[in-house]
Amino acid sequence: MPSSKSFLRQNVLPPLLIGLLISNLVSSPVIADSAMDWVQRMSDAMRDLNYRGDFVYMQNNRLEGMQISHYKDEQGEKEHLLSLNGEAREVIRDNQNLTCIWPSSRKVIVDLARKNSFSPIFIPDDIARLEKFYQIKLVGKDRIANMDVVVVHIDPRDQYRYGMKFWINEANGLMMKSSLLDENEQVIEEVMFTRLELFDGDNKPFIDTMPPIDDNFTLVRYHSGDSSETFAADNAWQLTDTPGGFWRESVLRRETPDGDSFVQQMVYTDGLASLSIFIEKKTDLTQSGVSSMGAVNAFIRILNEHSVTAIGEVPAITVRQVAESVNFQPQ
C-alpha cells in the first residue's frame, strides 16, 4: 500500500502545489516571543501608538459598527469613539474628562475619565499579575483585515472571571480582534477591526475635543475637573471577601445630581477583569437581586437603608459574592 505522502503526490496534489506547501511549512516564522510578551506588546501599542480604525462590536446577537481614533502626545492620551450605525453617539476621552454626546436627543454628559471606561476595546493592565489567575498561551496564527496576527488565549484558573482571546498584529502589536469567553468557551462579546490605519512619528488622527454643540443641547456635568467636587471616601463601607486576585484600583465619593445624598464607587480589577461597587441610599424603586445583559452582570443588595450594587463584565457568581461581602463598619 503506498504511503500517504506518495498517494497525495501521485493522485491529488500537483507537484508545484506540493512544493509550495512544503516550502511554507519550512519557512514559516516561529513565534519567538512568549504569550506574556505579546500581551504586554499589545497593551503598550494600544496606549502608545497613533491610529484610526473601523471595527465591528458584537454583543447580545447584535452587531454595531464603530470607529476609533487614538493618539498620545506629551499631554497624554486622547481617544474618540463614533458609532457608525444605529443611534448617533460620540465619546471623547482625554486625561481628565469623558464626554458622551447624543446628537439625536441633544444631550451631552461629562464625567471623569477612567481606563477602559467607555470603549468595548479592552486592554489588559498590570500584565505581570495575570499569570497567577490565568493561563496565558499562544494558540497559533491567523489573518485579520489582511494582516498577519498572533493568537493568544487567556484562560481563567477559577470561576470568578471570563476568558479572552486576542488576535495581535505581528507588525505593530495592535489588537485586531478580541473575544470574551464564558466558562464553556462560548463567545459572549467580540470586537474585530475591518480597517486599521497607523500614523507614524508626529502624525496623528484629528480628534476634536470640543465637538460642535449649541445652546439646544442639555449638558449634564458629573465632574468638571474640580477636585472640590469629590469627597473623602466613607471608610465604614468595607469588602470582606474579594475573589482572589482582585484589588481596589480606585474609590470615588461624590454628591448625587440633586445634592441630597452621596454615591460611593469602588473599582476592583485583577488586571484584566474589572467590576464596580456603587453604594447609595435606596429608593422606593430599588429591588435586590441579579440581572444581566450580555457579558455584564449585576447584583443589588439592600444594607442599612442603602443599595449596594456590584456590576461588571464578570460572571454572576462574582458580582453576587462581592455585593454580599460588603459590610458597614462604623469607624
Q: pLDDT tens-digit profile of 92-101?
A: 888 778 888 8
What average pLDDT does the chain have? 82
Task: For residue 300, give every residue at least 6 positions away whose Cβ sits within 8 Å of its Cβ, in sequence order, or none.
Answer: 286, 287, 288, 289, 291, 307, 308, 309, 323
**pTM exceeds cut of 0.85:** no
Supply the pLDDT for residue 3.
42
- The domain that holds 44 is classified in CATH as 2.50.20.10
Residue 266: helix, strand or coil by DSSP? Answer: strand
- Same domain as 174, residue 256: no
The span from the CA of 99 to the CA of 112, in Å, is 9
The span from the CA of 321 to the CA of 299, in Å, is 9
Supply the pLDDT for residue 120.
72
Q: What average pLDDT does this structure show over 240-261?
A: 83
Task: Classify residue 287 by its DSSP letter.
Answer: -
> Does residue 160 have a pLDDT over 70?
yes
Supply the pLDDT for residue 331.
67
Residues 66, 70, 72: CA angle, nearest 5 degrees: 170
Percent of the chain topping pLDDT 70: 80
Cell 496606549: give the residue. Answer: 47
Supply the pLDDT for residue 148.
97
Residue 22: helix, strand or coil by DSSP? Answer: helix
> Does residue 278 have a pLDDT over 50?
yes
> Does residue 5 have a pLDDT over 60?
no
The span from the CA of 316 to the CA of 323, in Å, is 11
> Does residue 7 have a pLDDT over 60?
no
- Same domain as 109, residue 144: yes
Residues 195, 198, 201: CA angle, nearest 5 degrees: 170
Residues 195, 200, 206: CA angle, nearest 5 degrees: 70
- Per-residue confidence at 212, pLDDT binned at 50, 70, 90? low
The span from the CA of 168 to the CA of 39, in Å, is 8
Q: What average pLDDT does this structure show over 277-287?
A: 90
Q: Are strands 289-293 and 90-93 parallel, antiparallel or unpaired?
A: unpaired
> Does residue 315 have a pLDDT over 60?
yes
The span from the CA of 27 to the CA of 35, in Å, is 21
Q: Domain range for residue 139? A: 35-199
User: Which of 181, 199, 217 is a domain's end point?
Assistant: 199
Supply the pLDDT for residue 186.
94
- Same domain as 260, residue 195: no
Cell 463598619: give the residue. Answer: 329
Q: How many residues does the chain have?
A: 331
Quick check: is 204 in a domain? no
The span from the CA of 86 to the CA of 90, in Å, is 12
Instruction: Provide the domain count of the chain.
Output: 2
Higher pLDDT, 226 or 8: 226
> Does residue 214 have a pLDDT over 80?
no
Quick check: is 216 in a domain? no
- Same domain as 186, residue 70: yes
- Same domain as 145, residue 81: yes
Supply the pLDDT for residue 24.
42
- Same domain as 195, residue 241: no
pLDDT tens-place string over residues 107-140:
888 776 665 555 677 788 778 889 999 999 999 9
CB 84 within 8 Å of CB 67: yes
pLDDT tens-place string over residues 27-85:
334 454 799 999 999 999 999 999 999 999 998 888 999 999 998 888 888 899 999 99
- Same domain as 177, residue 82: yes
Which one, of 229, 267, 230, 264, lies nearest residue 115 by Cα?
Answer: 267
Q: Are strands 107-112 and 218-221 parallel, antiparallel or unpaired?
A: parallel
Which one, of 297, 319, 296, 294, lies nearest residue 308 by Cα?
Answer: 319
Q: What average pLDDT does this structure show over 200-212?
A: 69
pLDDT tens-place string over residues 165-192:
999 999 999 999 999 999 999 999 999 9
Higher pLDDT, 160 or 250: 160
